[in-house]
Amino acid sequence: MKRLLAFAPAAIFVLVLVGFAVGLRRDPTLLPSMMIGKPVPAFNLPPVRPSDALSGRGGLATDQLSGEPVMLNVFASWCVACRVEHPMLMRLKEQGVTIHGLDWKDEPADGAGWLAERGDPYARVGNDRTGRAGIDLGVSGVPETFVIDRKGRVRYRHVGAISVEDWNRKLEPLLARLRAES
**Residue 30 predicted with pLDDT over 80:** no
User: Residues 153-165: what's their mean pLDDT?
Assistant: 97
The reply to whether 23 falls in a domain is no
Are residues 38 and 65 in contact, defined by beta-carbon separation less than 8 angstroms?
A: no
Alpha helices in 25-153 (DSSP H): 50-55, 80-94, 108-118, 132-137
The reply to whether 26 falls in a domain is no
The reply to whether 8 falls in a domain is no
Domain count of the fold of the chain: 1
**Residue 26 predicted with pLDDT over 60:** no
Q: Quote the strand ranges of the chain, DSSP E.
A: 44-45, 60-61, 70-75, 99-104, 125-128, 144-148, 154-159
Alpha-carbon distance 148 to 154, whole Å?
5
Alpha helices in 77-171 (DSSP H): 80-94, 108-118, 132-137, 164-166
pTM higher than 0.75: yes
Alpha-carbon distance 157 to 177, whole Å?
16
The reply to whether 21 falls in a domain is no
CATH number of domain containing 53: 3.40.30.10
The reply to whether 41 falls in a domain is yes
The reply to whether 2 falls in a domain is no
The reply to whether 16 falls in a domain is no
Which domain range does residue 40 map to? 32-180
- pLDDT bracket for residue 51 (50, 70, 90): confident
The reply to whether 7 falls in a domain is no
